[in-house]
Chain A
Amino acid sequence: MAVSASKDKQEPKTAAEMLQMRRKRNFALLGVIAALAVLFYVITIVRMGAD
Chain B
Amino acid sequence: MAIRARSTQTHFAEAGQLASAGDYLALMKPRVMSLVIFTCLAGMYLSGGEAHPVLAIISLLAISVGAGASGAINQWYDRDMDSVMARTRSRPLPAGKIAPSEALAFGLVAAALSVLVLALSAGYLAAGLLAFTIFFYAVIYTVWLKRRTAQNIVIGGAAGALPPLVGWAAITGEVTLDSLLLFAIIFFWTPPHFWALALFRHEDYKKAGVPMLPVVAGARETRKQILIYALILAPLAVLPVATGLASVWYGLAAGGLGLVFVWQAAMLLRFGDEKRALNLFKFSIFYLFLIFAGLMADQAMRGWL
> What is the interface of chain A, defined by CB distance below 8 A to chain B?
10-15, 18, 21-22, 25, 28, 36, 39-40, 42-43, 46-47, 49-50
Contacts and interface: CB of A to CB of B under 8 A. Distances in A.
B54 A46 contact: yes
B47 to A, nearest CB: 17
Given A36-B113, A46-B54, A12 B18 contact: yes
B124 interface: no
Contacts of A11: 9, 18
Interface residues of B, number: 18
Tell me whether chain B's interface is mostly helix, strand or loop, or mixed.
helix
Nearest to A22: B17
The 9 closest A-B pairs by CB, nearest first: A18-B12, A43-B120, A15-B8, A46-B54, A43-B121, A46-B52, A22-B17, A18-B17, A13-B5
Given A11-B9, A13-B9, A36-B113, A21 B18 contact: yes
A50 B20 contact: no
B236 to A, nearest CB: 36
Contacts of B97: 10
B21 interface: yes
Contacts of A14: 5, 8
A18 B52 contact: no
Contacts of A36: 113, 117
A9 to B, nearest CB: 9
Given A10-B97, A21-B18, A39-B117, 17 more contacts: A10-B20, A11-B9, A12-B18, A14-B5, A15-B5, A18-B9, A18-B12, A18-B18, A21-B17, A22-B17, A25-B19, A42-B58, A43-B55, A43-B58, A46-B54, A47-B120, A49-B52
A10 B224 CA distance: 46
B225 to A, nearest CB: 41
Given A10-B97, A11-B9, A13-B9, A50 B113 contact: no
A38 to B, nearest CB: 11
A22 B17 CA distance: 6
B58 A18 contact: no
A4 to B, nearest CB: 16
Nearest to A32: B113
